């Protein structure tokens, strides 16, 4: 039984190593992807896209475009009836858009 | 008061990073509506 | 018996780590497919329309959205330099990031819920490197919960 367990541990070790390599390469690819000029120019959604999502159709939708490292804070206001979102940026102004209905 | 903090503004963060916040907001809202139902609306605190 | 027990504990620990890493890799694959799909779609739309969409009708990634019922009263305070915002809602809201919106737009080919048509699977496979294809094929059948060891 010990021999079988040791053999399986060897297989799992190889599987984990392969996963680590794939995670690393995928993270790198994603980072490069977001840095390509073309992707930056074409990486957008339209208001229609947001309205096409069924769970957002009959909702008020606010879109927030914030600089990197902007802090989003939600205090736990259990039972107080007012729910808050606090946004604080240190790298530039935050843009907030109200998605139009149509 | 406890609070939840998330850093935004970066591409492709961890998945479901707002799940806990959404759950907390949902339960806060429910507990408030329950107190309303019980008729004793708590004094609203203003920031 | 003691040695077997130690090996079994190590096996469980390793299995847990592999499952967590598989979940991380699946999310990375979904993000890569969704983003590439979005860029491809926008490129085709712009070529067909022969022009980019009006700037005030689009939101570039990265962004987040906050959605709430239309009945919700929202009070918003903004600092002069727009570095700080305070929103007060009188009812519940949800916050989602851009990738979640892309998934709900269908940009991840339904892989996030394991409902992927053969055509979608073909598109998804074309958007990832060869090494990730076995995972995409496996994800198309449903979220990979057990330990999936690719042949490679």
Question: Strand runs (DSSP E) across A1-102, as ranges?
Answer: 44-46, 59-65, 70-75, 83-88, 95-98
Region A22-30: what's the mean pLDDT? 94
Region A73-87: what's the mean pLDDT? 81
Output the six-digit token pair for C79: 């600092």
pLDDT digits (tens, 9 = 90+) for B1-47: 578 889 998 888 777 889 989 998 888 777 766 666 655 555 555 55
Angle in degrees, CA A16, C109, C37, rounded to 5: 95
Which has the closest alpha carbon to A63: A20, A100, A17?
A100
Give chain C's mean pLDDT.
92
C26, C139 contact by CB (below 8 A) = yes
Test B27 with A78 for CB contact under 8 angstroms. Answer: yes
The residues, ordered by sequence, that sit 6+ positions from B28 with a Cβ below 8 Å of its Cβ are A76, A77, A78, A79, A80, A83, C92
Q: Which of B9, B11, B32, B46 to mutate to test the interface with C (most CBs of C within 10 A)?
A: B11
In whole angstroms, how far apart are CA C139 and each of B41, C103, C117? 49, 14, 12
Whether the per-residue pLDDT at A78 is higher than 90: the answer is no
B9 touches chain A (CB under 8 A): yes
Can you give the length of chain C in residues? Answer: 152
- Shortest CB distance from C97 goes to which of B17, B25, B47? B17
Angle in degrees, CA C39, C95, B29, rounded to 5: 160
DSSP code, position C142: S
ipTM, interface predicted TM-score of the complex? 0.85
Residues 10-69 of C with CB under 8 A from B: 27, 30-31, 35, 61-62, 64
Whether the per-residue pLDDT at C11 is higher than 60: the answer is yes
Test B18 with C27 for CB contact under 8 angstroms. Answer: no
How far apart are the CA of C104 and the nearest CA of chain B, in angstroms? Answer: 14
C22, C147 contact by CB (below 8 A) = yes
Test C101 with A64 for CB contact under 8 angstroms. Answer: no
On the 0-12 / 13-18 / 19+ scale of CB atoms within 10 A, A63 is buried
Which has the closest alpha carbon to C40: C97, C117, C98, C102?
C102
Under the banding of pLDDT at 50, 70 and 90, the label for residue A49 is: very high
A79 backbone φψ class: left, alpha, beta (φ>0; ψ -120 to 50): left
How far apart are the CA of A1 and the nearest CA of chain C, in angstroms? Answer: 7
How far apart are the CA of B1 and the nearest CA of chain C, in angstroms? Answer: 16
Test A69 with B9 for CB contact under 8 angstroms. Answer: yes
How far apart are the CA of A82 and the nearest CA of chain C, in angstroms? Answer: 5
Neighbours of chain C (3+ CB pairs under 8 A): A, B
Output the six-digit token pair for C22: 């598989």
* Contacts with A98 from chain C: Cβ below 8 Å: none
Distance (Å, whole) CA A19 – CA A32:
20
Q: Please give the pLDDT value at position B26.
A: 86
Distance (Å, whole) CA A85 – CA C75:
10
**Helices and strands (DSSP H and E) totals, chain A:** 3, 5
Helix axes A2-35, C2-49, angle to 10 degrees: 20
Taking the model in full, what pTM does it have?
0.88
User: CB contacts < 8 Å between A and B, how many?
Assistant: 71
pLDDT digits (tens, 9 = 90+) for C103-132: 999 999 999 988 899 999 999 999 999 999
- Shortest CB distance from A43 goes to which of C60, C85, C88? C60
Higher pLDDT, A70 or A100: A70
How much is the CA Rg of chain B, to the nearest whole Å?
15
pLDDT digits (tens, 9 = 90+) for C57-69: 999 999 999 999 9
């Amino acid at each position: 039984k010990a021999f079988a367990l040791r053999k399986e541990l060897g297989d799992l070790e190889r599987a984990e190593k392969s996963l680590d390599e794939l995670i690393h390469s995928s993270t790198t690819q994603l980072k490069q992807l977001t840095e390509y000029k073309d992707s930056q120019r074409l990486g957008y959604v339209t208001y229609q896209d947001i309205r096409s999502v069924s769970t957002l159709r009959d909702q008020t939708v606010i879109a927030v475009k914030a600089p990197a490292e902007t802090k989003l804070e939600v205090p736990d206001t259990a039972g107080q009836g007012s729910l808050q979102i606090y946004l604080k940026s240190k790298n530039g102004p935050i843009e907030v858009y109200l998605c139009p209905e149509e | 008061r406890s609070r939840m903090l998330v850093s935004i503004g970066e591409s492709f963060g961890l998945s479901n990073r707002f799940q806990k916040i959404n759950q907390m907001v949902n339960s806060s809202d429910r507990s408030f509506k329950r107190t309303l139902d019980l008729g004793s609306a708590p004094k609203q605190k203003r920031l | 018996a003691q040695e077997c027990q130690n090996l079994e504990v190590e096996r469980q620990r390793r299995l847990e780590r592999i499952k967590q890493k598989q979940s991380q890799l699946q999310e990375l694959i979904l993000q890569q497919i969704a983003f590439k799909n979005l860029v491809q779609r926008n490129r085709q739309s712009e070529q067909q329309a022969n022009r980019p969409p009006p700037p005030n009708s689009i939101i570039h990634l990265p962004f987040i959205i906050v959605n709430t019922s239309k009945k919700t009263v929202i009070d918003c305070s903004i600092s002069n330099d727009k570095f700080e915002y305070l929103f007060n809602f009188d009812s519940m809201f949800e916050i989602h990031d851009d990738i979640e919106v892309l998934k709900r737009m269908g940009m991840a080919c339904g892989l996030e819920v394991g409902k992927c048509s053969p055509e979608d699977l073909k598109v998804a496979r074309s958007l990832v490197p060869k090494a990730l294809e076995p995972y995409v094929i496996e994800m198309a059948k449903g979220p990979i919960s057990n330990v999936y060891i690719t042949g490679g």
